[in-house]
Amino acid sequence: MDVSSVTAPLLGVLHGHRPARPPLWLMRQAGRYLPEYRALRADKGGFLDLCYDSDAAAEVTLQPIRRFGFDGAILFSDILVVPHALGQTLWFETGEGPRLAPPLVDANLKDLTPQPDRLAPVIETVRKVKAALAPETTFLGFAGSPWTVATYMVAGQGSRDHAAARRLAYGDPVRFAGIIEAIIGATIDYLCAQIEAGVDAVQLFDSWSGSLSPEQFRQWVIAPNATIVAGVRARHPNTPIIGFPKGAGAKLIDYAAGTCVDALGLDETLDPVWANRELPKDLPVQGNLDPLALIAGGATLDRAVDNILDALSGRPHIFNLGHGILPDTPIAHVEQLVARVRGEQ
């Protein structure tokens, strides 16, 4: 693609452009730190109801764009809509997080009845957001990567060490591979549907990749994500794909080479100087402010922002957090961050 023809700064960076100041968006930018989100959720009810209400989900997606003018809008949804579409029952326990039934540690995937129509409201949300976005704002779709999604599907809920999934992967790798393959197929179709409905780029979230040994990382993170990248690219060769394997550390080098993603998300534990030195020079990177530095604000936030800007100034860079924004983040600190990244203070 001719970068000069790209009007959206963030999309330009994903295609290799290096603007004077990096474009900016924040993971989980649509959510609980915003009073307008809290008001809408109180009106609409539970989190899953909000995800599947396309009018409400579109509104939530657009709220941070109206307030802060971010360069990217991220689809408001959840990574667990894919196991829901694969046939598990999904609900959210107040104060405790998601639940999936039956947990695949005790049940067989083949006994589930896939219900892909459960994803239809999410795709309708994409259409509604796309119609409302200005052309200079890049629209990002997403899905969970197979390993992270599998940890929930196997255990039926989140966990600290993902022991149920890791035990199954070691003890019955054939059965675990079947779960991964089902997630891969559903994810390729889901991401392609998002692209066909209007997103400009997609991100693969592997939030729990840091819990794996190097061998398991290659088997359950790099290989499945490489298959998804190839599958999406075969159908939509010009749509950039961002990979975000949180906690990968030095394994990012192998991840970048093995998955062939178009851009790489960096979590807050990575030294951006190391990333700039060790990763391919033309590979766009995204990140990697500590969400707690954003909560701290003031001079602490300014120093942290400047360190990242300085370290990654020589490559295509999208400014972002190293993980999702936290619910108690002050609005004024987000405004400070936006101004600092854009050189307005």
Catalytically active residues are 28, 32, 41, 78, 152
Contact between residue 339 and residue 24 where contact means Cβ atoms under 8 Å apart? no
Give, in degrees to the nearest 5, the angle at Cα 61 between 59 and 65.
100
Helix or strand holding residue 73 (H, E): strand 72-74
Distance CA 297, CA 311 (A): 20
Q: Please, how many CA atoms are within 13 Å of residue 321, restricted to the half-sphere of its CB?
A: 18
Cβ–Cβ < 8 Å for 80, 98: yes
Both tokens assigned to 303 = 């120093």
CA 185 – CA 307 distance, rounded (Å): 40
What is the rounded CA–CA span in Å between residue 101 and residue 41?
A: 25
